[in-house]
Amino acid sequence: MRRFSELEAAVMESLWSRTDSVSGAQVFDELGAERQIAYTTVMRTLDTLHRMGWLTRQRSGRAFVYRPTLTRAQYSARVMRHALGKGGQPELVLTHFLEQMTEDDTAALHAALRRLASGRESE
Q: Please provide residue 64's backbone torsions phi and psi, each rounded to the nearest 5 degrees.
A: -105, 150
CA–CA dist 91, 82 (Å, integer):
14
What is the arithmetic mean of pLDDT over 26-48?
A: 96
Tell whether the model's pLDDT for residue 88 goes beyond 90. no
CA–CA dist 96, 24 (Å, integer):
41
Q: Write down the pLDDT at residue 119.
A: 80
The 10s digit of each residue's pLDDT in 22-31 is 999 999 999 9
Tell whether the model's pLDDT for residue 41 goes beyond 80. yes
Q: Write down the pLDDT at residue 122.
A: 56
Q: Write down the pLDDT at residue 39.
A: 96
The 10s digit of each residue's pLDDT in 44-59 is 999 999 999 999 999 9
What is the arithmetic mean of pLDDT over 80-85?
A: 86
